[in-house]
Amino acid sequence: MKLWLSIALGILLAFVITSIIAYLVPSADDLSPENPLWNGLTKLVSYTNATVIAYPNVNRLSASSSTLFIIGLARNLSSSEIENLKAFVENGGALVLASEKRELNSVLKGLGLGVAVNGSLVADRLFFYKSPLFPQARASIAQHNLTLYLNYASHLSAYGKGKCMAYTSPFSFEDLNMNGARDSEELYGPFCIAYAEPVGKGVVYVVSDSSIFINSMIDLSSNKLFATLLTQGRRVYIAYEQDAETLYVAFRSSVMGFYRTAFGSELRYFTAIVIGIAVYKALKVLLKGAITKH
Amino acid sequence: MKKSIVMSLLLLLALAQYIVAEAGFPRHVDPSLVSETPNLSDIFTLLHLSTMYLAELNIGKATNITSALREASVPQQFRDLFNRTLQLYTYFTSEIGMSINYTDSAREALQHNDFAKCSSLIDIAQRHLYNAEVTYFQLRDVLNYFTSAGLAGVIRGILGNMEKVLSITKSRVVEVLEELNEKKSFSLKDVAIELQVNTTKVLYGDFIEVVGSVRNLHGAPLENRTIAIYYSTSAKWYVKSNATGFFKIAIPVKACGNVTIFAAFIPQGPDVNVYRYVESSVNIVSTCIEPAIRIFIPQPLLVGVNSSMCIESSVQNIKVSVTSKDLGLYRQLELYNYSTCTTFSVPTNISEGVYRISVASEPRKGVPPKALHIYVNVTRLDTNVDIEYPGIILAGVLQALCITTSQKALLTVVTPVEIKSIGVPRNVKTCIAIGVPISYLNTKMNLEISVNPLNASYRPRVVNVSLQVLNLALLLPSAFLIAFAVIITTPVHSRSSVKARSIAMSVQRRFEALHRVLSPIAKEFTDVVKALSGIEIEAHMTLREYVGKALSKVPSEVREPLLNALKITERILYGLPTHVEELVKKLKEVLSRIARVLKS
C-alpha cells in the first residue's frame, strides 16, 4: 500500500473514532450535568429527573414547587444573579448550594446566611471510604439517619439561625497539608458538612462538598438518598453554565462544527465530490494491489 | 492496513493524553482509582484510649469509643478479626461494668446490714468478674494475630490496661467480701457446747466415749446439728445432735501423751448466717510404750545367696512386717522374746545396687506403731576370665578362641557372621572355632564374648575384641593387578618416567648443595684436628672416631673445646636442619678459641 494512502486511512479512522466519542460523551467537564464520566452529574440528573438551566433563568422558575441545585459554582455570580436566587428562596424555593471552595461564601453572604465554607480539607482516619480523604459524615434528615461519603470535602462554619444537618465523626480532622494524617496543629472534628437555614418562605441547604453528587460518589452509601431528600419531592433544576471552554469542549465543538459545515451547508456538494474521488482512488489502488497479487 | 490502524491509534493516544491531563479536578479524585488505606494503627490507638478509660473505671466513655469503632473502616483482610476483637472487648467491658455495678449494690446492701442480699450480689459480681477474666484471655489470643501488623506496642498497652481494670475490679470485690465477712462475724450468735469424756486416762488404741450437748445462748437445744470431733491427728469424726441437743460418739485414741479432744460446731445451711463456728475441748492423757526396733543384715547382700536377718525390739510380743518391694521381700515376724531371725535370698533377677528394706511394727494396746527403713547394698562376685585369641584371622580358615573361667558359665561368642554358645567348665580351657568366609570383605572382625556364670552370685562379663582379618583371596589378585598396572604403564608413559628421573636428580642436586654448604665446615674442623694432632682422617672413619683417635695427641687444654666443637659439628651434619647458621657461628667461635689457645 502506498504511504499517502496509509496516512489518509489512519487519519480517517482516528477521525471516525473521535467522532464516535464526541457523539457519546457530550461533556467531560467537572460537575457538568451532561458529563457521563466519573466527575459528571448525569446520574443526579437521571435520579432527580432534573432540568438544566442557566443562572439568568432562575427568576423564571416557580419557586414554591422547585428545588434548585447549584453544584460546584462554576463562576462568581453577579449581584443580580444572587438577588434572583434570594428572591427564588424567599418565594418558597428550596436552594441547594454545594461547594468546598470559599468562592461560595460571597453567595452565602449575599443570601444573608449565617454560614461560611471554611475551605480546609476534612479527613478521617477511622471513618472513611477507601482513603482518609473520603471521610464519612452522619446526617439526620426527615427521620432518616444517613451515612454520607465525601470526596475531598471542606467544612462549614455555622453561626446563623439555621441548623447543621450532617457532621463528620469526632475523629475527623482538618488536614491542612493534605497528607491524610493528622498533625499536631490540625484540629479535630466533628465538623458540620451540611447546613439548612430558612430564608423567607423557602430554605437554603449548604453542603461543603460538591462531589457528593458526582457520578462516582452518588451511588455510595446514602449519598443518593441525601440528594433525593433535599429535593423535597419538588421539580428539580440544576443551574449550570460552562465557565470556560475546556479542551474537550473545544474539540467536540470542532468535530460537530466540521460535520455541520461539511454536511449542513452548501459545502455538502463539494464534500460529496471529494468523498467520491477519495473512494474511487482508494478502491482503484486497493483493487489494483489485489489483482497484481493474484 | 496495519499502518493505518497504528497511525489512528497514535493520534487517539496523543489526544486522550492531552484531554486526561486537562480534565483533573484538583480537590476531587475518582474513588475507583484510590487504593484502600491501612488505618489499623489509628483504630488500635483508639481502642487503647478506650482501655485507658476503662482502667479509670469510666465505663461510659470506654463504651462510647467501642461503639464508634464498630463502624470504623477496617482493611478487608483484618475485618473479621477486628470484629471478633471488638465483640470480645465489648463483652469484657460489659462484664466489668456489671461486676462493678453489682459490687456497688453489694456494698450498699452491706451498709444496710442486709447480709443475705450483699452475699448474693457479691456472688453475681464475682461471676461477672470471672467472665471478664475468661474474655480477657480469649481477647489476648485474638490480639496476638495483630502483632504481625506492627501493633505489638499498642497491643501491649491495651492488654496492660485490661489487666489493670481486672485487678481494680477484683480488689473492689475482695474488699466488699472481707467487709461482709467481718460484719457477719460480729453479728453471728454464739452457741454453747458442753463436752465430756468417760475417762481421762487411756492406753494407746483405747476407745474413748465423747458425750456432749449443743445449745444456743438461751439454753435451747440445737437439734440435728453437725458436730465434728477431732484431736491432733488428721482424722475427724462427725456426729449429729438429737432433739435435746445431745451427741455421743466413741473414738479411738491413736495419739500419745497429753491429747486435747475438740468438739466443733460447724454452721451449715441457714445456720451460716446465724451462728458462729464454736469449738470446745477436753484434755486426756494417753499412755504409750514406744518400741525401739533394730534390724541386723550382713552387707553386702549377694544375689542368689541365702542371707540371715535379725530384728530386735524393746517391747516383746509385737508383730513386725519386713518388706522390700524391689527385692520381692515380704515377711511377717512375731517377736515373742524381744528378737527373732530369719533368712532370705535376693532373687537372681535382681540387678546390683542399693535397695530399701522397710520394717514396721503393728500397733497394739499401749504400743503405737513404729517404722524404720534401712538401705542394703546388693552385689555379685567377679568372674575371672582368661581369653586366648589369634592376632590375625585368615579369611576362609577356622581358628581357635580359647577361654578359661573361674566359674561354670555359658560362653556366647557373637561374630559378624554367627553366634556360638557353649558351656564352659570351671578352670578348664575350652576352645571354639571362629572364622570368616572368603566373601568377608572387612579388614577387621569385632567379637563380643559374653561369659554368663551359671551361679547367679557371680557377675556376667562381656569382652569386646577386634581382630585383624587377612583375606588372601582378595590380597593376592590385588597385588598382582597393581604390579601388572605398573609394568604396563611404565613404558607407555615415558614422559612421566623422565619426570620421575628429573625429580630424583633435583633431590640429588639439593643434597649436593647442602653438602657444599656443610663440607667446608667439616673440612675446617678436620683441618683444626689435623693441625692439633698431626693425624689424617681415614676414609672409613666417622668424625667421632677420628677425634677419639686424635684426642690423645692433642694438648690437654684444648681437649674439652675440641669435644665441644665435635658435638657442634655433629649437630650441624647429622641433626635437624634448624638453627644451622647459629650452630656454624658457634662452631667458628669454638674453633677460633682453640686457635687462640694454641697461639698463646
Higher pLDDT, A61 or B521: A61
- Nearest Cβ partner for B39 among A18, A126, A247: A126
Does B28 reach chain A within 8 Å, measured CB to CB?
yes
SS3 label, residue A98 = strand
CB-based contact B68 A214, cutoff 8 Å: no
How high is the pLDDT of residue B552? 83
Closest residue in B to A38 (Cα–Cα): B30
Which residue, among A69, A26, A180, A58, has the nearest Cα to B37 in the 3D structure?
Answer: A180
Residues B197 and B182 placed together within one structural domain of the fold: no
**Greatest CA separation for chain A:** 87
Residues B62 and B158 placed together within one structural domain of the fold: yes
Q: How far apart are CA A242 and CA A72, in angstroms?
A: 12
Chain B residue numbers with beta carbons less than 8 Å from the beta carbon of A37 are 23
Whether residue B47 contacts residue B139, with contact meaning beta carbons closer than 8 Å, is answered with: no
CB-based contact A38 B32, cutoff 8 Å: yes
Residues in chain B: 600
Among B245, B270, B287, the domain boundary falls at: B287
Residues B57 and B141 placed together within one structural domain of the fold: yes
Higher pLDDT, B481 or A167: A167
B-interface mutation test, from A125, A208, A217, most B Cβ less than 10 A away = A125
Residues B448 and B460 placed together within one structural domain of the fold: yes
B336 in a structural domain: yes
Q: Is B570 exposed, middle or buried (0-12, 13-18, 19+ CB in 10 A)?
A: middle
Q: How far apart are CA B564 and CA B585, in angstroms?
A: 14
- The C-alpha angle B307, B312, B313, rounded to 5 degrees, equals 150
pTM: 0.47
B-interface mutation test, from A29, A31, A124, A151, most B Cβ less than 10 A away = A151
Instruction: Tell me which residue range forms the domain holding B71.
Output: 40-187
Residues B356 and B421 placed together within one structural domain of the fold: no
B569: its cell numbers: 659439628
CATH for B263 = 2.60.40.10
Count chain A–chain B contacts defined by CB atoms under 8 A: 116
The alpha carbon of residue A151 is apart from the nearest alpha carbon of chain B, in Å, by 6
A-interface mutation test, from B6, B15, B28, most A Cβ less than 10 A away = B28
The alpha carbon of residue A210 is apart from the nearest alpha carbon of chain B, in Å, by 9
Residues B458 and B394 placed together within one structural domain of the fold: yes
Residues 36-65 of B with CB under 8 A from A: 36-37, 39, 42-43, 46
The dihedral of CA B329, B333, B339, B340: what is its sign?
A: negative
Q: In this predicted model, what pLDDT tens digit does every residue of B314-364 receive, in sequence order?
A: 888 889 999 998 888 898 888 888 888 888 888 888 888 899 999 999 888
Domain range list for chain A: 3-24+247-293, 42-239
- The C-alpha angle B229, B234, B239, rounded to 5 degrees, equals 25
B483 in a structural domain: no
Whether residue B259 contacts residue B228, with contact meaning beta carbons closer than 8 Å, is answered with: no
CB-based contact A126 B42, cutoff 8 Å: yes
Among B287, B307, B322, the domain boundary falls at: B287
**What is the average pLDDT across A25-53?**
86
How high is the pLDDT of residue B135? 92
CATH for B305 = 2.60.40.2950
- For residue B474, give every residue at least 6 positions away whose Cβ sits within 8 Å of its Cβ, in sequence order, or none: B395, B441
How high is the pLDDT of residue B22? 42
Closest residue in B to A7 (Cα–Cα): B4
- The CB density around residue A79, as the number of other CB atoms within 10 Å, is 9
Which residue, among B296, B382, B368, has the nearest Cα to B339 in the 3D structure?
Answer: B296
Residues B210 and B104 placed together within one structural domain of the fold: no
Which residue, among B89, B58, B55, has the nearest Cα to B165 in the 3D structure?
Answer: B55
- Nearest Cβ partner for B28 among A12, A39, A171: A39
Which residue, among A101, A73, A103, has the nearest Cα to A238 in the 3D structure?
Answer: A73
Residue whose C-alpha cell reads 491427728 in the numeric block: B233
Closest residue in A to B12 (Cα–Cα): A14
Please report the beta strands in B441-506, taking only residues with DSSP state E, as ranges in sequence order.
Answer: 444-453, 461-470
The alpha carbon of residue B8 is apart from the nearest alpha carbon of chain A, in Å, by 4
- For residue B86, give every residue at least 6 positions away whose Cβ sits within 8 Å of its Cβ, in sequence order, or none: B66, B69, B70
Q: Is B219 exposed, middle or buried (0-12, 13-18, 19+ CB in 10 A)?
A: exposed
CB-based contact A10 B22, cutoff 8 Å: no
Looking at domain A42-239, its CATH class is alpha beta
CB-based contact B8 A11, cutoff 8 Å: yes
Q: How far apart are CA B517 and CA B302, in angstroms?
A: 78
How high is the pLDDT of residue A213? 92
How high is the pLDDT of residue B496? 45
CB-based contact A246 B5, cutoff 8 Å: no
- Nearest Cβ partner for A217 among B22, B31, B36: B31
Residues B242 and B375 placed together within one structural domain of the fold: no
Whether residue A190 is preceded by a cis peptide bond, meaning omega within 30 degrees of 0, is: yes
Residues B46 and B182 placed together within one structural domain of the fold: yes
- Residue A190 pLDDT exceeds 80: yes
The alpha carbon of residue A158 is apart from the nearest alpha carbon of chain B, in Å, by 22
B418 in a structural domain: yes
Which residue, among B48, B286, B281, B277, has the nearest Cα to B146 in the 3D structure?
Answer: B48
CB-based contact A130 B71, cutoff 8 Å: no
The alpha carbon of residue A199 is apart from the nearest alpha carbon of chain B, in Å, by 30
Residues 69-128 of B with CB under 8 A from A: 69, 71-73
SS3 label, residue A24 = helix
How high is the pLDDT of residue B166? 93
Which residue, among B396, B430, B401, has the nearest Cα to B414 in the 3D structure?
Answer: B401
Chain B residue numbers with beta carbons less than 8 Å from the beta carbon of A12 are 4, 8
Does B22 reach chain A within 8 Å, measured CB to CB?
yes
- For residue B433, give every residue at least 6 positions away whose Cβ sits within 8 Å of its Cβ, in sequence order, or none: B398, B399, B400, B401
Q: What is the pLDDT along chain B (600 residues), one digit of tens a residue?
A: 566 566 666 666 666 555 544 443 355 788 888 877 777 888 888 889 999 999 998 888 888 888 888 878 887 778 888 888 999 999 999 999 999 999 999 999 988 888 888 989 999 999 999 999 999 998 988 888 887 777 888 888 999 999 999 999 999 999 999 988 888 777 778 888 999 998 889 999 899 999 999 998 888 898 899 999 999 877 889 999 999 999 999 999 988 899 999 999 988 888 887 888 888 999 999 999 888 898 898 888 888 888 888 999 888 888 999 999 888 889 888 888 888 888 888 888 888 889 999 999 988 888 999 889 999 999 988 888 898 888 888 888 888 889 999 889 999 999 888 888 889 898 888 898 888 888 887 888 888 999 999 888 888 889 888 888 888 877 777 777 777 777 766 544 444 444 445 555 555 555 555 555 556 777 888 888 888 888 888 777 788 888 888 888 888 888 888 888 888 888 887 777 777 788 888 888 888 888 887 777
B27 in a structural domain: no
Q: How far apart are CA B62 and CA B46, in angstroms?
A: 10
Q: How far apart are CA B62 and CA B67, in angstroms?
A: 9
How high is the pLDDT of residue A165? 92
CB-based contact B8 A131, cutoff 8 Å: no
B480 in a structural domain: no
How high is the pLDDT of residue A140? 85
Residues B93 and B181 placed together within one structural domain of the fold: yes
- Nearest Cβ partner for A10 among B4, B18, B42: B4
Q: How far apart are CA B466 and CA B540, in angstroms?
A: 50
Among B246, B268, B287, the domain boundary falls at: B287
Domain count across chain B: 5
Closest residue in B to A10 (Cα–Cα): B4
How high is the pLDDT of residue B11? 63
Residues B180 and B72 placed together within one structural domain of the fold: yes
Chain B residue numbers with beta carbons less than 8 Å from the beta carbon of A43 are none
Residues 424-443 of B with CB under 8 A from A: none
Chain A residue numbers with beta carbons less than 8 Å from the beta carbon of B3 are 1, 3, 6-7, 10
CB-based contact B34 A14, cutoff 8 Å: no
How high is the pLDDT of residue B35? 78
Chain A residue numbers with beta carbons less than 8 Å from the beta carbon of B36 are 130-131
Reported as a pLDDT band with limits 50, 70 and 90, residue A254 is confident
**CA B465 to centroid of chain Cα atoms:** 35
A-interface mutation test, from B2, B6, B8, most A Cβ less than 10 A away = B8
SS3 label, residue A106 = helix
How high is the pLDDT of residue B351? 86
Closest residue in A to B75 (Cα–Cα): A130
CB-based contact B23 A28, cutoff 8 Å: yes
A277: its cell numbers: 474521488
CB-based contact A100 B27, cutoff 8 Å: yes
